[in-house]
Amino acid sequence: MTKYNDDKAWRQKFTENEYWMTSEDEPDDPTTEEQVKVEIGVQKTYQKFLRDKKELKVQRGKHIAYLLDGIRHLDSYFDSLDASRPWLVYWIVHSLDLLGELDKHPDIIHDAVVFLSKCQNSTGGFGGGPGQLSHLAPTYAAVNALAICGTQEAYEMIDRKGLHSFLMSMRDPIHGGFVMHHGGENDVRGCYCALNAASLAGVLTPELTAGIPEFIARCQTYEGGMGGFPGNEAHGGYTFCALAAFLLSSPASHQLLNVPALTDWAVARQTPYEGGFNGRTNKLVDACYSFWMGGVFPLLHAMEYGWRFDAFWNQEKPAYNKSTKEEKGSDDMDSLYLFHQKNLQLYILICSQDDVRGGFRDKPGKGRDFYHTCYTLSGLSVSQHNPDGTTSVVGPNENLMEPTHPIHNVRPIKATRMKNFFSEIK
Ligand SMILES: CC(C)=CCC/C(C)=C/CC/C(C)=C/COP(=O)(O)OP(=O)(O)O
Ligand SMILES: [Zn+2]
């Protein structure tokens, strides 16, 4: 399939209906059939965008309204997320923070901290809601959300001693790594959730990281990507968790991983027709992989060239690059990471963005939700902020998101403030 790298060819492709297969053609297997349906949906979406002469614009006001509404009120069908309430807080406050909006709402920040404090257990760690058992996933979400809230009240609310002992109790002495909760499953999400929370809260001790790089290295598969557990299929979500946890536990032992094979696999996750990422071989594009996969590239870059992010990302304001061009049709945007940053931004702005109601969706035909809004905006931010501190923005410069820390997925300034707070009171 042709890769439409330059904007002229991209416009021509979607203006001139040159699609290579129609819905009347009969693909001979269900996987191809699903893929063809997605490509047709994506083609129609790009064509409509061009026909309607719409602007390549992040609809900030609509996204902010959607998020501000969601943090205060959720409809009854959200009951299925009753064990993921700290996640809802994280998805929403991080989205607002990437849009530069959160710190204008001290009332929301205070109420979020009070709510999260009700999810913290006396034995350490956070549950999926008040009174629920401690679990690594909501613990990750709660600590990240508290870092984003960024107030003294938020920091002081964390029972760090209890957190450390809860995290230690999640270590799996038989297989290595961490289980997600007492008696629960073990996969690399556990390593990432535990070490990320420990790092932000300033309780990342050698007992927590011992053996973790070796366990993670065993998750690398014959394809090059990382599975959730040794022997499992390579997958974008687990690959992000594995790499981020690897860097948290051992910034210097990269020889344990086959980085070239991992890079090849990661590069192959960007879908040539749609422009977004999928999460595994022969699967469909999904905007949440804009972060799970897009976020892998800064981590690979850090492994290859050393950790240089904190230096320029800890600035209060993002590093606006004087040379950034408003990308309205020019073909001269460089990709400084090893993925096509412009095509990802086009997929996000045109196929994933709900430009009528606000929020972002997985793909055309699906509904918006807070999870996809968070990870699409996070992926948009990654694809706009280059490793050298410059920016590559599709559309007007107002489309630029705040930067996000590629390990913690909170704004770098928020991660640093929390870490500094705890290092001072140690
Ligand atoms: C911090 C934390 C807990 C991170 C979780 C990371 C993670 C595992 C993300 C994957 C989420 C996702 C879209 C799963 C779908 O799998 P699927 O098999 O339905 O979708 P596919 O067809 O795209 O593979
Ligand atoms: Zn998704």
3-state SS of the chain is: CCCCCCHHHHHHHHHCCCCCCCCCCCCCCHHHHHHHHHHHHHHHHHHHHHHCCCCCCCCHHHHHHHHHHHHHCCCHHHHHHCCCHHHHHHHHHHHHHHCCCHHHCHHHHHHHHHHHHHHECCCCCEECCCCCCECHHHHHHHHHHHHHHCCHHHHHCCCHHHHHHHHHHCECCCCCCEECCCCCCECHHHHHHHHHHHHHCCCCCHHHHCCHHHHHHCCECCCCCECCCCCCCCCHHHHHHHHHHHHHHCCCCHHHCCHHHHHHHHHCCECCCCCCECCCCCCCCCCCHHHHCCCHHHHHHHHHHCCCHHHHHCCCCCCCCCCCCCECCCCCCCCCCCCCHHHHHHHHHHHHECCCCCCEECCCCCCEEHHHHHHHHHHHHHHHECCCCCECCEECHHHCCCCCCCCCCCCHHHHHHHHHHHHHHC
Is pLDDT of 49 > 90?
yes
Is pLDDT of 18 > 60?
no
Is-contact 119 129, C-beta < 8 A?
yes
Q: In the prediction, which pLDDT does 225 show?
A: 98
Ligand 1 centre to CA of 238 (Å) is 7
Does residue 277's CB lie within 6 angstroms of at least one atom of ligand 1?
no
Does residue 403's CB lie within 6 angstroms of at least one atom of ligand 1?
no
Q: How far apart are CA 417 and CA 320, in angstroms?
A: 22
Q: Is 111 an annotated catalytic residue?
A: no
User: Which ligand is nearest to the Cα of residue 271, counting in written order?
Assistant: 1
Q: Is 362 an annotated catalytic residue?
A: yes
Ligand 1 centre to CA of 280 (Å) is 10
Q: In the prediction, which pLDDT does 302 show?
A: 87
- 374, HSE (Cβ side, Cα atoms, 13 Å): 18
Does residue 279's CB lie within 6 angstroms of at least one atom of ligand 1?
yes
Quick one: average pLDDT of 256-281? Answer: 96
More confident: 62 or 322: 62
Of 37-41, 168-172, 316-320, where does the model show the most confidence? 168-172
Quick one: average pLDDT of 47-63? Answer: 95
Is pLDDT of 3 > 60?
no
Is-contact 338 300, C-beta < 8 A?
yes
Ligand 2 centre to CA of 101 (Å) is 24
Is-contact 318 384, C-beta < 8 A?
no
Ligand 2 centre to CA of 291 (Å) is 10
- In the chain, what percentage of residues exceed pLDDT 70? 86
Q: How far is CA 66 from the centre of its chain?
A: 19
Give the residue, by CA position, lying nearest to ligand 1 atom 23: 279
Q: How far apart are CA 184 and CA 48, in angstroms?
A: 47
Q: In the prediction, which pLDDT does 223 show?
A: 98
Q: Residue 264, class by beta-carbon neighbours within 10 Å (0-12 exposed, 13-18 middle, 19+ buried)?
A: middle
Q: Is 372 an annotated catalytic residue?
A: yes
Is pLDDT of 239 > 90?
yes
Q: Name the nearest CA neighbour of 145 among 136, 135, 155.
A: 155
Does residue 192's CB lie within 6 angstroms of at least one atom of ligand 1?
yes
Q: What is the pLDDT of residues 361-372, one digit of tens each?
A: 999 999 999 999
Does residue 347's CB lie within 6 angstroms of at least one atom of ligand 1?
no
Ligand 1 centre to CA of 424 (Å) is 37
| CB neighbourhood size of 14 (10 A) | 23
Q: How far apart are CA 335 and CA 73, in angstroms?
A: 40
User: Which ligand is nearest to the Cα of residue 375, counting in written order?
Assistant: 2
Does residue 126's CB lie within 6 angstroms of at least one atom of ligand 1?
no
Is pLDDT of 25 > 80?
no
Q: In the prediction, which pLDDT does 162 show?
A: 98
Give the residue, by CA position, lying nearest to ligand 1 atom 6: 237
Is-contact 142 166, C-beta < 8 A?
no
User: To test the ligand 1 pocket, which listed residue (185, 286, 378, 405) has its Cβ within 8 A of the most ligand atoms?
Assistant: 286
pLDDT range class, residue 376, cuts 50, 70, 90: very high
Please determine, for the modelled complex, whether the ipTM score is greater than 0.90: yes
Give the residue, by CA position, lying nearest to ligand 1 atom 20: 279
| Protein residues with C-beta less than 5 angstroms from the ion ligand 2 | 286, 288, 362
Is pLDDT of 205 > 60?
yes
φ, ψ dihedrals at 64, nearest 5°: -65, -45
Residues 6+ apart with CB under 8 A from 106: none
Q: How far apart are CA 206 and CA 210, in angstroms?
A: 6
Closest approach atom of ligand 1 to CA 140 = 1
Ligand 1 centre to CA of 7 (Å) is 31
Quick one: average pLDDT of 334-341? Answer: 87
Does residue 189's CB lie within 6 angstroms of at least one atom of ligand 1?
yes
Q: How far apart are CA 326 and CA 339, in angstroms?
A: 20
